[in-house]
Chain A
């Protein structure tokens, strides 16, 4: 297709945007250099010695609120550097980062949700990770994989979250059950808990936003894959089998197909109406708050044949922007935040789980045995692919899981539909 009419058309479209953002984005995109294919950008060298200058950081949620004070030690060690932390609410963070990249007015470093990596890296707005400074082997494999877009890493895992199995010990005991290690065990476990008085043996999310996070671990445990690196590979016998297994919990009445209201899960678990569920470490505090104190435990997910089975991993990565004025200082800050000991004290400050295994080997993370389970689970995780269209494909999976669980379509059709929609969406990588 000819470029000329395109330029005319988009010039009109972009005229307003450019006028409003009042920035010569197109004129200085040259300095971004090889902007067109940001993939090949070589990683910047990092100087020796302390960081200097101002380092602007964006962080979301609790992290954004706590990070400013937390960095006092860093500023002490780097007296010539000033860190300015801007807390950004998660709700608006995606658009705000996208807008900042478009306008070339980014901070130096930002926390980036793992599922956004593909999209932002594909804009050419993120710096490639200097792999001579950050070693892949220092981090859990799932979280590191979430930084890699089209073969290049564009950030460093900062904190992670993963899912394990919560269950009621009192119900399991009265049913005479051991924690499950395989798919068959898990089914028997849910049946046993239900027999011991729970309305639902296990709560599995029956659809709507984010249900892929509960379903995909089963598919991964069965060796199904999401992509082969270039294209989506959802339509596989492994995926179908996993979906059939997932559906059986609903058809056998072990899990209900109603999406629970916020807060209901914790309360129903504490009341014994839900015997078990799969969730992340934040639920330890929530179920304790709802009244379940010493009558529950957490174990790694069962695999198809033995535990631990693959779980979902999410979390936040730290990325440096190509438009940063202080890349050197920015990478030094990232380096500091991903040090093992700093990650341990960050856990004490914000309960963010460390992204590197050595931070789990001693200190505060071994003190609560429930938290330590998540460290064990982290050895066995998968992250969604870091491609620009992942969020869109995730909703396609959500929709088909919901339809299958409600018995509207058979598993094979659901999986085939996932694939055909995902293929027409594409991965978004050139």
Chain B
């Protein structure tokens, strides 16, 4: 039809366009871009000043011998090169806290993941009182960690603590959970696992509810048992959620601090002192350069752990 072929030609083609419309469009685009930047600017400035700046400053500081006594003359501190880093790895205490942190992560992360997944699967199945149990698992997360740790410290008291009194009823002489160097770290890991379970459980539960019912039913028709369905249908679909959970738990556990700060003061015999705790101590001693180096070692450890987790748990395509 004639009209049909001529009509588009009478209007400027949206693809080709005349030079005039092109300019108008890009002008609009440019103006929009400018407005966007302008609106983002306050945030970007704050981000640069309070996030990027300090992070970068502490990186620079980690290569200097800055101490708190240099605060009035920050331009006069000496460059130390990698001295802080070599000193760090020569310090037996740092090696000890690095090992503590590694054990904490190696035991705590899988333990928390498995228990949280088990709790989520259980909660996904039951229909009665689900909200009640969900609340029960999540309550420790919303309670202040200081309050939680103080209560645990009380529970784990050697003589008067309820846990040992319960053990006494069945004839077991309970140990000094937080006072024995060999038991203190496991006790702190147990407390951290209990506390962090809720966060992961909620995330996993949300993930479980996205698993399509049809897939599970199809597998059931094919004769897959309950475990096989979980193993071959649910788990693969949960991979992105598991990855997310592993990453946030891993980062959180690598930075563990409050648990041992409140419960054990890093003791006994530094059995529960972590890299973050060590860094905190060094800052409070005024060794700013050295403490910055310690925090960058932790930073690198977090990057490495996260990279490994991405490799292992990356969703298969």
Contact = CB atoms under 8 A, between A and B. Distances in A.
A192 interface: no
Interface stretch (B65-73, B123-131, B202-210, B247-255): B65-73
Contact of A6 (B61, B71, B78): B78
Interface residues of A, number: 50
A12 B70 CA distance: 16
**Interface size band for B:** 35 or more
B72 A25 contact: yes
Given A12-B60, A16-B57, A428-B67, A6 B72 contact: no
B74 A388 contact: no
B252 to A, nearest CB: 24
Given A10-B76, A13-B58, A428-B69, 6 more contacts: A12-B57, A16-B53, A17-B57, A392-B286, A406-B268, A406-B269
Contact of A15 (B57, B181, B285): B57
Interface string B36-60: 0000000000000100011011101
B49 A388 contact: no
A11 interface: yes
A29 B75 CA distance: 12
A25 B72 CA distance: 7
Given A7-B75, A35-B72, A402-B268, A261 B64 contact: no
Contact of B54 (A16, A35, A101, A392): A16
Contact of A207 (B61, B267, B286): B267
B69 A388 contact: yes
Interface stretch (A122-130, A178-186, A350-358): A122-130
**Chain B CB within 10 Å, residue with most, of A1, A16, A207, A402:** A16
B153 interface: yes
Given A98-B71, A408-B269, A1 B54 contact: no
A207 B268 contact: yes
Interface of A: 1, 5-7, 9-17, 19-20, 25-26, 29, 32, 35-36, 94, 98-99, 101-102, 104, 119, 122-125, 207-209, 257-259, 261, 388-389, 391-392, 395, 399, 402-403, 406, 408, 428
A123 B71 contact: yes
B179 interface: yes
Contacts of A125: 71-72
B202 to A, nearest CB: 33
Nearest to A257: B179
Contact of A403 (B153, B269, B286): B269
Contacts of A403: 269
Contacts of B306: none
A399 B179 CA distance: 14
Contacts, number: 121
A330 to B, nearest CB: 19
B63 interface: yes
A98 B285 CA distance: 12
B64 A9 contact: yes
A207 B63 CA distance: 34
B281 interface: yes
A9 B267 contact: no
A2 to B, nearest CB: 9
Interface string B201-220: 00000000000000000000
A125 B267 CA distance: 35
Contacts of B57: 12-17
Contacts of B154: 261
A12 B72 CA distance: 16
Contacts of A26: 75
Contacts of A35: 72-73
A388 B63 CA distance: 21
Contacts of B73: 29, 35-36, 124
B155 to A, nearest CB: 12
A257 B49 CA distance: 48
A119 B60 contact: no
A402 B179 contact: no
A99 B74 CA distance: 13
Given A207-B268, A388-B286, A101 B71 contact: yes
